Structure 1
Amino acid sequence: MYLPKTQRKSSAKLLQAVLLLSLFYGCHKPDLPVLPRDESATVVYDWYKFIAMVQRPANPQPVVIQNIRNFGFIGVGLYEAVRPGSIGAESLSSRLYQMPAMPQADTWNQQYLWSESANAALASMFKSFLVLTDANKASIDSMENANYNRFSASTPDEVLMRSQGFGREIAAAIYNWSLSDGFNLSSVGYVPPPVTPGSWVPTPPAYANPVGPFLSDSRPFLEYSLTAMAPPLPFPFSEDTSSLFYKANKEVYDIGQRLTDEQKATANWWADAGGAGVGVPSPHHALSIITWVQENQQANLWKAAEVYAKTGIAFKDGPINTFRSKYHYNLIRPVTYVRRLIDTAWLSYLPTPPYPEYTSGLVGFYAPYIQVLIRSYGDIPVTDNAYEWRGLPARQFTSLSALLDEAALSRIYGGLHYRFTQEISIRFGKVLGNEIAAIRLAVPDYTHP
């Protein structure tokens, strides 16, 4: 084929450049990282579903707030275990309060399978953080080995072993960091403030001692959570029958007196109660929602890990901020007020937990992580199938916000909280969710507008 002289010169120069580059890279190793492949998050989803099955029949059931805290660390550890595989992603050690530097992977010179790193990290963290039987630990080992063997069909052993080692290094670093967070649910040494008519006091039928007065002293993930506090009550405590506070209690009482089967089902759905093999130990109800959303959105490994990390931050800091507010305001529970002023025999439909009323523990846990999901994927429709294993039909919601609203309403049906508490708790929790969602973990891609 005939080419004009100018095109012949251009082609010759291009060929010469290609030959020079080939010679150069044949003699020198390029100073470029080994690029990761776009890996599926299936191994992570499988692990979260598996560990829920492990903990469901536990007897006794896991301590709720402690289990939530543990899964917060696990989410952060998962992110750190796969982070080096995402070009430009930064460690949370530069974002979280007093988080130490994490082990580094040699991505410039070595290949990794990040799915195996996640596999090893999750298996190690579950065994470190969770209260498990020997049989539970053996089942975790079997799950880890099955995943490793599956990966070995397409990945060299040296890559798998390197990836496994890195995941375990991260798991150990995260667990060691967790040991210094000052987590404490005990009330030993707690001196309640002077009792007033509006003060929280132990509630029937168990009249248990308070739980978690020192939880707010635990080291949070965010510096914001060192001092975060819910706003003051929207109106003052009062026993006057014409007051807004009395009316708030009367509403809870009236709803409790005429609960429908549907309202009871809603209260039960979000209570996750019933003991081993009946309820869903926290935070597995929340994790089932997070996992459903991520699978539905087809998140890859790195996106999924980032969202598990950010929702994990919400798991830890949400209760810290909530309990700081609870013991600061020390507000009376509806069951105490109603039995004193309205109906001496009344009991809440759900058992009232042993700590003050304001703000809401459930909403303080749910609102931040739901806001993280909204900021990550939008206010999308969602299916909650947390009780599918019991044969209960899934609950469908038009949006994540609608799901949160129902969870908040369930505590009014249960007789545990005033409506104003739930409404303010949603707003308070969303502030934390937005703080978490604002954490930037990747270098912006300036090649796109």
Structure 2
Amino acid sequence: MPKRNLVFVLILISSLLSCDQLEEWLPKDTPKQEPADVVHDWYKLLAKVQFGANPQPVVLLNNRNFGYIGVGVYEAVHPGIKGSLSLATQLYQMPAMPTPEKHKEYLWGASANAALASMAKLFLAGLTDGDKARIDSMENAYNTTFKANTSSEVIARSQAFGRSIADAIYNWSTADNFNLSGAGYKIPVLPGSWEPTPPAFAAPVGPYLKNSRPFLVSSLTLNVRSIPYAFSEDKESNFYKSNKHVYDIGKSLTDEQKAIANWWADAGGAGVGIPAPYHFLSIITSILESKKLNLGEAAEMYARTGIALKDGPIVTFKGKYQYNLIRPVTYINKHIDPNWKSYLPTPPYPEYPSGLVSIFGPVMQVLKREYGDIPVTDNAYSWRGDAPREYASITKMVEEAAKSRVYAGIHYQFTQDISIGLGNQLGDNISKINLNTP
């Protein structure tokens, strides 16, 4: 259409519509036109910031915090996406979020940039002055880039909106009753019940996590299925055989089995391991970058995977302390071999279901539902000089992650198999969240 005709059409429409009606008629899909580099770069930076933390971040707390960060990223850009819904309409007890000024221009990348910088300082514990300087440097670098093509007024307005979202998300998070303490918890003393494990025999972690507010109302009633085998000391029982399976594997681990166990352990001191959930996030970011998503699409996927990072532990630990199942090392030391040790230390909480699989599983199921069961390259440890691991599909990667815990000597195979199904169920629930108006 010639420019003069287009101008005439717009003038005619504006004369027929009110300002609010015109705003609804005109396209508002700018996040779909902006690149997603800003969010990808922020997730990479935050990984590097916490690599050197000593002590390393608390795993479950860090997962929870990145859940909120993912939701906040989406809220910082969604008003610019035509027909999109705030997650406040979808998540459990989420308050209404700040809204941008009507009839004002925004640069949504600048909003995301400001929100991520603010949320990093609000949510990530133990930041040093040097860490905060790196966060400021990233924010300023992107603002300099934005100023090349956007007015200072628009950038300032966008920044203010992003920061208001960060504050609102953080304020909401403070009332979620997230509690990892085991103070006051009485460990059941029954045949087959969990008890503290060697070498540290540490007190239980997370018995009250089940009371934390989830993101999805469906997570309140999502339960892990019953343990398939009754506890038994009988050598012919399935429960004994499940322990013997872990024992036999642990007695003759191959180099490849050790490598798999170590790859998915994500443990160790600063500069040795990789702080959770960065293994997950590095895979997510790699996949999203390969899909060349725009800002709006990437923000939505970080939100969905963030929901999995928070609700996964809540559902998992509800099951752990419901069933209070004995760990392999305890059973094996009592009934098979008193000198046997697991390849990796056993975490201080009950066996069933699996923490890794019930958190990693739903994250990957969200990606699988969106993009199919695609091949994956896991390059999480490239910074350490380790070669990437290649998988024919997301399913194969999740299966290896599950198997790694059996090689490590800390989970039964039936626990891992059932935990994959639990993760898929939660991931499916997250994928059903509708973020578009009818």
TM over 0.5: yes
- Of 223, 234, 247, 2:241 maps to 247
Please report how far the alpha carbon of residue 299 of structure 1 lies from its aligned counterpart in structure 2 after TM superposition. Answer: 1.2
Please report how far the alpha carbon of residue 443 of structure 1 lies from its aligned counterpart in structure 2 after TM superposition. Answer: 2.9
- Structure 1 residues 68 and 17, CA gap change in structure 2 (3 angstroms): closer
Q: Deviations over 1:67-112 (max 9, x none)?
A: 0000000000000000011100100001000000000013x41111
Please report how far the alpha carbon of residue 297 of structure 1 lies from its aligned counterpart in structure 2 after TM superposition. Answer: 1.0
Alignment of structure 1 residues 156-305 onto 2, 5 Å: 156-193=151-188, 195-305=189-299
Please report how far the alpha carbon of residue 18 of structure 1 lies from its aligned counterpart in structure 2 after TM superposition. Answer: 8.0
SS at 2:225's partner residue? coil
Alignment of structure 1 residues 87-166 onto 2, 5 Å: 87-106=82-101, 108-131=102-125, 132-166=127-161
Please report how far the alpha carbon of residue 24 of structure 1 lies from its aligned counterpart in structure 2 after TM superposition. Answer: 7.3
SS at 1:426's partner residue? helix
Identity over aligned residues, as a percent? 61
CA distance in 2, matches of 1:36, 1:376: 20
- Unaligned runs of at least 5 residues, structure 2: none
Aligned to 2:411: 417
Structure 1 consecutive aligned stretches of length 4 or more whose deviation exceeds 2 Å: 15-37
Q: Paired residues, what number?
A: 428
Q: Deviations over 1:320-344 (max 9, x none)?
A: 0000000000000000000001110
- Of 40, 45, 54, 1:59 maps to 54
CA distance in 1, matches of 2:248, 2:8: 85
- Structure 1 residues 16 and 220, CA gap change in structure 2 (3 angstroms): closer
Letter in 2 for 1:378: G
CA distance in 2, matches of 1:158, 1:99: 30
- Structure 1 residues 250 and 142, CA gap change in structure 2 (3 angstroms): same
The yes-or-no answer on 1:367 pairing with 2:361 is yes
SS at 2:22's partner residue? coil
Please report how far the alpha carbon of residue 20 of structure 1 lies from its aligned counterpart in structure 2 after TM superposition. Answer: 8.2
Q: Is the 8 A contact 2:246 2:328 kept in 1?
A: yes
Please report how far the alpha carbon of residue 378 of structure 1 lies from its aligned counterpart in structure 2 after TM superposition. Answer: 1.0
Q: Deviations over 1:35-72 (max 9, x none)?
A: 34311100100000011000001000001100000000
Q: Deviations over 1:269-293 (max 9, x none)?
A: 0001121011110000000010011
Please report how far the alpha carbon of residue 29 of structure 1 lies from its aligned counterpart in structure 2 after TM superposition. Answer: 7.7
Comparing 58-67 with 15-24, which one deviates more in the overlay? 15-24
Q: Is the 8 A contact 2:78 2:85 kept in 1?
A: yes
Letter in 2 for 1:99: M
- Of 71, 74, 87, 1:76 maps to 71
Q: TM-score, with normalisation over the residues of structure 2?
A: 0.95
Please report how far the alpha carbon of residue 138 of structure 1 lies from its aligned counterpart in structure 2 after TM superposition. Answer: 1.5
Q: Is the 8 A contact 2:100 2:161 kept in 1?
A: yes
Instruction: Please say which structure displays the higher CA radius of gyration.
Output: 1
Q: TM-score, with normalisation over the residues of structure 1?
A: 0.92
CA distance in 1, matches of 2:430, 2:5: 52
Q: Deviations over 1:141-185 (max 9, x none)?
A: 111011101110011111111110000000000000000000000
Provide the aligned C-alpha RMSD in A: 1.8
Alignment of structure 1 residues 343-422 onto 2, 5 Å: 343-422=337-416
Q: Is the 8 A contact 2:187 2:195 kept in 1?
A: no
Letter in 1 for 2:82: I
CA distance in 2, matches of 1:174, 1:16: 45
Letter in 1 for 2:214: P
